[in-house]
Structure 1
Amino acid sequence: GLMSQTAAVTTNMIFCNGLFAITSGTLDAEKPDEFWAQEQMNIFIAGNMDNVAKDIAMGNGEAVDTIAAILKVEDKEAFKTQLQDNFANIYTTNEVTHTEVVSNIMDIAKS
């Protein structure tokens, strides 16, 4: 109904603005602490599991760019390749949860 459409539009506006702020660096964060990055990753991946999976599998795309931005990755191309090479370690099962995906990506980013 109208309420769900309004909620969807509002959510999309908030998310898109947040995504823009993350990827454009306008969130005014120098080096995010791990907690902040973890929270942002949870929010982003929870709403984008399929897109994240596709982009990681391809080793490119807006989702992996956003992840690299959240994690303040310096060598984005190497990171994208690292994610792609570790796809099976990130999406371990068909029933993997977004929190497991976040944890797996964070582990790879630290290595």
Structure 2
Amino acid sequence: MKKIFALSLFVTLFSIPTYVSAKYGAAGCGLGSIVISENKKVHQVVAATVNATVYNQLFGITTGTLGCETSGFAQKEVEQQIFVHLNYQSLEQEFAKGSGEKMEAFASLMGCSDAATFGKVGKEKFASLFDQNGPDAFLEKMRSEVASNSALASSCKI
């Protein structure tokens, strides 16, 4: 039992810098952060020990409970970026047509409920969206288009 506590203490102390900016303390989300809300080191060690003993963080992350968030804005941006990088050539072909399975999936990742309008606008703006600057430039231009285009702004939630 002492070894487990010492290991938990060691891991917690060395992981503190990675959690400082989170809404919860250094112990991370979980029952420990719900029960012990103070952000002092001693309290966070106890919270981390509770989290490690009860094994509740996986449940909290999976269900979005216990102070764990599963879909923050940063996560959506990363999902969009990965999708665009993996499917850039297919997206380019489908945006040229104004429709396609991957384009519809991308519309969904961008928070757009109206894939037809998304495809129509993408087809109209094709030349400026795909100007040989690569996936990152395309994604930024698409985010800008969604924010500035009145038809997309009403059906999309970035």
- The answer to whether the superposition gives a TM-score over 0.5 is yes
**SS of residue in 1 equivalent to 2:113:** coil
Select the residue among 105, 114, 130 that pairs with 1:75: 114
| 2:81 equivalent to 1:42 | yes
1:22-47 deviations in whole A, cap 9, x for unaligned? xxxxxx89xx6543332112101111
Match of 1:109 in 2: 146
Gaps of 5+ in 1: 1-27
Partner Cα separation in structure 2 for residue 33 and residue 80 of structure 1 = 26
Secondary structure of the structure 2 residue equivalent to 1:48: helix
Letter in 1 for 2:108: A
Which structure carries more relative contact order (alpha carbon 8 Å, separation 6+)? 1
Matches within 5 A, 1:5-24: none
1 CA distance for matches of 2:86 and 2:135?
9
Determine the C-alpha separation between the residues in 2 that align with 1:84 and 1:33: 30
* Unmatched segments (≥5 aa) in structure 2: 1-62, 65-70, 149-158
Q: Give the aligned partner of residue 62 of structure 1.
A: 101
Percent of aligned pairs sharing the same letter: 16
Which structure has the larger Rg over C-alpha atoms? 2
1:88 partnered with 2:118? no
Kindly provide the amino acid, as one letter, of the partner of residue 137 in structure 2: E
Q: TM-score, normalised by structure 2?
A: 0.46
